[in-house]
Chains A and B, each alone.
Chain A
Amino acid sequence: MTVPYALLGLLEREPSHGYDLKRDYDTYFGRGKPLPFGQVYATLARLARDGKVIAGDAEPGAGPDRKRYVITEQGATEVETWLAEPVEPEPHLQTLLFVKVVLALMLGRDAEKYLDTQRAAHLQRMRELTEVRRVGGVVDLLLADHGLFHLEADLRWIDLTVARLSALAGEVRP
Chain B
Amino acid sequence: MSPLVEARDVHLSFGPTPALRGATLEVAQGEILAVMGPSGSGKSTLLHCLAGILVPDAGEVHFSGRRIDVLGEADRSALRRDRFGFVFQFGQLVPELTAAENVALPLLLAGARRAAALAQARTWFERLALDGLQERRSGELSGGEQQRIALARGLVGQPEVLFADEPTGSLDSLTGERVMDLLTAAAREHSITVVLVTHEPRVAAYADREVIVRDGKVTSPASLVGAR
A residues contacting B by CB (< 8 A) are 113, 116-117, 119-124, 126-130, 134, 148-149, 151-152, 155, 159
Asked if A123 contacts B38 (CB within 8 A), the reply is: no
Chain B residues closer than 8 Å to A159, beta-carbon distance:
38
Asked if A128 contacts B181 (CB within 8 A), the reply is: no
- With most chain B CB atoms within 10 A of its CB, the pick from A117, A126, A152, A159 is A126
Residue B89, interface by CB 8 Å: no
Pull 29 A–B residue pairs with CB atoms less than 8 Å apart, ordered by A.
Answer: A113-B221, A116-B212, A116-B219, A116-B221, A117-B222, A120-B222, A120-B223, A122-B201, A123-B201, A123-B205, A123-B223, A124-B224, A124-B226, A126-B201, A126-B202, A126-B204, A126-B205, A127-B205, A127-B206, A127-B208, A127-B226, A129-B205, A130-B202, A130-B205, A148-B202, A152-B200, A152-B201, A152-B202, A159-B38
Range of interface residues on chain B?
Answer: 10 to 19
Residue B210, interface by CB 8 Å: yes
Asked if B221 contacts A120 (CB within 8 A), the reply is: yes
B residues contacting A by CB (< 8 A) are 38, 181, 200-202, 204-208, 210, 212, 219, 221-224, 226
Report the nearest A residue to B184, measured CB to CB.
A134
Report the nearest B residue to A116, measured CB to CB.
B221
Asked if B207 contacts A127 (CB within 8 A), the reply is: yes
Chain A residues closer than 8 Å to B38, beta-carbon distance:
159
Complex Cα gap A110–B199 (Å): 24
Complex Cα gap A151–B205 (Å): 11
Report the nearest A residue to B34, measured CB to CB.
A123
Q: How far is the CB of B125 from chain A (nearest CB, A)?
A: 23
- With most chain A CB atoms within 10 A of its CB, the pick from B202, B223, B224 is B202
Chain A residues closer than 8 Å to B201, beta-carbon distance:
122-123, 126, 151-152, 155
Looking at chain B's contact residues, is the secondary structure mostly helix, strand, loop, or mixed? loop
Chain B residues closer than 8 Å to A117, beta-carbon distance:
221-222
Top 7 closest pairs, chain A to chain B, by CB: A126-B205, A130-B205, A116-B221, A120-B223, A120-B221, A155-B201, A127-B226
Complex Cα gap A122–B210 (Å): 11
Q: How far is the CB of B8 from chain A (nearest CB, A)?
A: 23
Q: How far is the CB of A24 from chain B (nearest CB, A)?
A: 29
Chain B residues closer than 8 Å to A128, beta-carbon distance:
226
Asked if B206 contacts A130 (CB within 8 A), the reply is: yes
Report the nearest A residue to B205, measured CB to CB.
A126
Chain B residues closer than 8 Å to A116, beta-carbon distance:
212, 219, 221
Complex Cα gap A151–B210 (Å): 16
Q: How far is the CB of B201 from chain A (nearest CB, A)?
A: 5
Complex Cα gap A149–B207 (Å): 17
Complex Cα gap A81–B210 (Å): 43
Q: How far is the CB of A155 from chain B (nearest CB, A)?
A: 5
Complex Cα gap A126–B205 (Å): 5
Report the nearest A residue to B228, measured CB to CB.
A131
Chain B residues closer than 8 Å to A127, beta-carbon distance:
205-208, 226
Complex Cα gap A124–B226 (Å): 7
Q: How far is the CB of A125 from chain B (nearest CB, A)?
A: 9
Chain B residues closer than 8 Å to A129, beta-carbon distance:
205
Q: How far is the CB of B147 from chain A (nearest CB, A)?
A: 19
Report the nearest A residue to B180, measured CB to CB.
A130
Report the nearest B residue to A130, measured CB to CB.
B205
Beyond A116-B219, A152-B202, whether A123 also contacts B210 by CB under 8 A is yes
Complex Cα gap A113–B214 (Å): 13
Report the nearest A residue to B38, measured CB to CB.
A159
Chain A residues closer than 8 Å to B210, beta-carbon distance:
120, 123
Complex Cα gap A126–B208 (Å): 11
